[in-house]
Structure 1
Amino acid sequence: MDKACKYMELLKKEVVPALGCTEPIAVAYAVAKAADLLDKIPEVIELNLSVNVIKNALGVGIPGTGMTGVNIAAALGAVCNNSKEGLQLLVNITEDQLNLAKKIVDEGKIKLKVSESDEKLYIEALCREGKNQSRVVIKEEHTNIVLIEHNGVKILDNCAKGDTIPENKIEGELLNPIKDIKEAVHNINTSKDKMFSIEEIYDFAVNVDFEDIKFLLEGAEMNKKVSDEGLNQPYGLEVGNKINKSSQFNVLGNSLVNKIVAATAAASDARMSGCKLPIMTTAGSGNQGITCTIPSVILAEETGKSPEELARALAISSLVTIYIKSYMGRLSPICGAGIAASTGASAAMTYLLGGTVKNIKCAVKNMLADVSGMICDGAKATCALKIATAVNAAIQCAILAMSNIEPCSKDGIINDDVEKTIENIGSLVSKGFDNTDKAILEIMLNK
């Protein structure tokens, strides 16, 4: 398969819709799959989750519930009878199902444990009903089921060679979580096969047939609806809404920069507070999908760009985001939206401003010199603040890139080679932020 085909395959695989924050919804999906096997609502739901999943599920709103957190998500998964919808399984939850889910939570039927797995994304759902039990394990990606088991019989076993998920028991406590599993090798191991490069992404985006990437416009339209919802309704901290109205303070005014920042943050406001509208995700995250699409959408609208030009910008943004995330990991101690997706947005806006591949490389290096220390302390209302900060930086870095301004190898973690700079982000995550997730979760749980 040539690289153009691989890029096309990646876009179709990594740019997909979801309803609600992907971590708690993935937990709901695992529980729903396990409950399907029981054919009854489970008496007990035991969850064994990685630190990153818990961190991203504790404080985020669950669509249509007015509630936050992993427990209500898991309970809804148990009652929804809708696992076939994947990450949109909560789309048609009824009032009766919501009340039943709330009862499951109130009665303490959900038990949560922190996995000792080295996997950043690890979800194990064990559902018990009488003497029957079913188990589903998700790893590496939000819908990547690697094990389905019913009463000790494996129905599906997609575990990689060398992976060990220990046998469970019908009675007693949830199994000891797996140990000594190395960080997941994601879809493309860029450190080995060098599939990605900024130059190749640019060449693909500007030369691919428009019809092949037209579907990206549908995702942009989906995310714009959520942005409009956030601008017009009081979701979360109302970051986007209030920035949009900041002209009353005569500081930011009604500038295009202000409009781009407000529109992007507003979509996160809505999504993090349980908005019922679906989001088009990028590389496993709705906030990443928002951040790498909305800036280009607003800039294209305001500067009269064609749908084709917007689609090509979105291809650049999405692939740059996927590229950087392949080094950061699916879930990370640093902010995927604030670092990877905002860098993708800066690259795309540079393209829309008339930039060449050289300018785009400048934009990427500018961004990674600027925002690479932004931590991820879970999915919650303040994600909109991080996104507002990162998008403002993305615009500034694109403007600088258009004047060929860029850092060099003398500057911190930056390398003259943009690809080496992106690799350095991977080193920063794996070596520099090794214990950050545990420290963040400890702070969150002790409040």
Structure 2
Amino acid sequence: MGKNKISAILEKELVIALGCTEPVAIALAAATAKSYVTGQIEEINVKASGNIIKNAKSVGIPGMTAKGLDFAAALGALSGDPNQQLKVLNGLTIEDERMAIKLIEEGKVTAGQADTTKRLYIEVIVRTDKQYSRAIISDNHTNITLIEVDGKAVYRGGCENIGIQTDEEELEALTINEIYEWVLQADLTELALVKRSIELNRMIGMEGLSGNYGLNVGKTIKENVKKGILSDDIATSAMSLAAAGSDARMAGSILPVMANTGSGNQGIAVTLPVVAAAEKLQVSEEKMIRAVALSHLITIHIKSKFGRLSALCGVTAAGMGASGAIVYLLEGGLQQIKAAIQNTIGNVTGMICDGAKAGCAMKVSTCSNVAVQSALLALNHQEIQSTDGFIHDDVEKSIESFCKLGNEGTRQTDELILKLMMEK
């Protein structure tokens, strides 16, 4: 694969996002629908797929105290700028929150589950005293496929059934081998977006360590290192910084992050364990940037087969990317990178996704620890064998099996998780 194609993949899949992408996507659909009508809002109706509901129900929204699908839609319709895409909720104020809550209290906002087989589907209808509009987002958090005004389609677009932004043919040639070779020889100018991901995501990690967010998973780990209860090593550094970033993001920090394949939390889990390890090892900035690029691309490669939303936690894929990158930081070669990915697949594959919320930081911490552990085992020439579970001799086949499990083997689990969440 040519270097320009891989650069293009990074440009499409690394996107700055403000807030968890599921409620942000709802806000984007609502803001888009509202932008096509005039008059005072009388009703907002949201319908979303189960996976969207699962991830938007309890997660924090940047700078706000309220949560939920109805709140995200009200914010988007009242104050969102659809031209900002995943930064649609940038610059919100307390007054914006007050107005959104008032709209909900007046009974003007409803939300429910859409009758769809799609895992990522959002439909928002905005009715005013003059007209009504409908906007649909499907398959991708910014993929607007339909806009209607008074029942008449004014826009049809987007792409059906796309897993990620990159064209399928661009991904067909993407393998661990080619990713590794490209990362080693890429000019640093081609990795500017990767460097930016380090800067943005490290900033929210430090915010989580210094502030009071969610479960304070990262901060608690750091404090116990200071007490001497935990060791001050690569694993705890990776766990602490990455979990702190997730703590802050899931609790509604106003800081933006660099998302990976549509997920900000995944972007954090791809970058920060690697950044923490690089800083602990005191490697050069160039080596750290190349390591993080490797982590991003391995995860994009896996997610291109895995899909954006699943009953399995997407941070597990980020852990696979991070494990390979940590091997690279520790001077390991291609075969050891593959072994680390295999070890991570064999360890965290069964981790389920029960929605975006404060507890995600614990899963980020777990996968960061596994990334380090898997890397160290690989560097010691220890690799899960093909006689174990669904692991193959070929890492690419192991990735395919992992993705099949996420796509085909967990639909009933996904439905049950949502049912259990909604019954509370």
TM-score (norm 2): 0.96
Matched, 1:426 2:403: yes
Cα displacement (A) at 1:158:
1.8
Q: 2:10 is matched with which residue?
A: 11
The C-alpha deviation readout for 1:70-122, integer Å capped at 9, x for no partner, is 22111110111422111112111123222111111222211112112111111
Matched, 1:208 2:194: no
Cα displacement (A) at 1:184:
4.5
Please say which of residues 188-197 and 140-149 is displaced more in the overlay.
Answer: 188-197
- Equivalent pair of 2:146/2:156 in contact (CA under 8 Å): yes
Q: AA paired with 1:388? A: S
**Corresponding residue SS for 2:353:** coil
Q: 1:175 is matched with which residue?
A: none
Matched, 1:349 2:348: no
Matched, 1:364 2:341: yes
Distance 2:200 2:251 in 1: 17
The C-alpha deviation readout for 1:400-438, integer Å capped at 9, x for no partner, is 111221112211010000000000012212332121121
Distance 2:40 2:249 in 1: 28
Cα displacement (A) at 1:296:
1.4
Q: 2:304 is matched with which residue?
A: 326
Q: AA paired with 1:378? A: G
The C-alpha deviation readout for 1:175-229, integer Å capped at 9, x for no partner, is xxxxxxxx64545687997322110110111111111112211111111111111
Distance 1:384 1:159 in 2: 32
Distance 1:304 1:291 in 2: 20
Please say which of residues 300-309 and 186-195 is displaced more in the overlay.
Answer: 186-195
Distance 2:178 2:136 in 1: 36
Q: 2:93 is matched with which residue?
A: 94
- Runs ≥4 in structure 1, deviation > 4 angstroms? 183-193
Q: 2:376 is matched with which residue?
A: 399
Matched, 1:385 2:384: no
Q: 2:240 is matched with which residue?
A: 262
1:392 to 1:284, Cα distance in 2 relative to 1, 3 A: same
**Corresponding residue SS for 1:332:** coil
Please say which of residues 12-21 and 85-94 is displaced more in the overlay.
Answer: 85-94
Q: 1:135 is matched with which residue?
A: 134
**Corresponding residue SS for 2:111:** strand
**Corresponding residue SS for 1:408:** coil
Distance 1:190 1:361 in 2: 23
Q: 2:27 is matched with which residue?
A: 28
Matched residue count: 424
Q: 2:53 is matched with which residue?
A: 54
Distance 1:397 1:372 in 2: 13
Distance 1:98 1:20 in 2: 15
Distance 2:349 2:40 in 1: 44
Q: Where in structure 1 are there 5+ consecutive unaligned residues?
A: 164-182
Q: 1:373 is matched with which residue?
A: 350
TM-score (norm 1): 0.91
5 Å matches for 1:46-445? 46-130=45-129, 132-158=131-157, 184=162, 186-187=164-165, 194-247=172-225, 250-337=228-315, 339-445=316-422
**Corresponding residue SS for 1:62:** coil
Cα displacement (A) at 1:247:
3.2
- Equivalent pair of 2:69/2:111 in contact (CA under 8 Å): no
Q: Where in structure 2 are there 5+ consecutive unaligned residues?
A: none
Distance 1:192 1:293 in 2: 23
Cα displacement (A) at 1:5:
2.2
**Corresponding residue SS for 1:135:** strand
Cα displacement (A) at 1:371:
0.4
Q: Provide the identity percentage.
A: 41
1:13 to 1:193, Cα distance in 2 relative to 1, 3 A: closer
Distance 2:322 2:244 in 1: 16
1:394 to 1:94, Cα distance in 2 relative to 1, 3 A: same
After superposition, the CA RMSD in angstroms is 1.8
The C-alpha deviation readout for 1:377-412, integer Å capped at 9, x for no partner, is 000000011111111010000111112211122110
1:188 to 1:14, Cα distance in 2 relative to 1, 3 A: closer
The C-alpha deviation readout for 1:223-266, integer Å capped at 9, x for no partner, is 11111111111110111110111136643132232122111101
Distance 1:212 1:248 in 2: 39
1:94 to 1:313, Cα distance in 2 relative to 1, 3 A: same
- Equivalent pair of 1:18/1:87 in contact (CA under 8 Å): yes
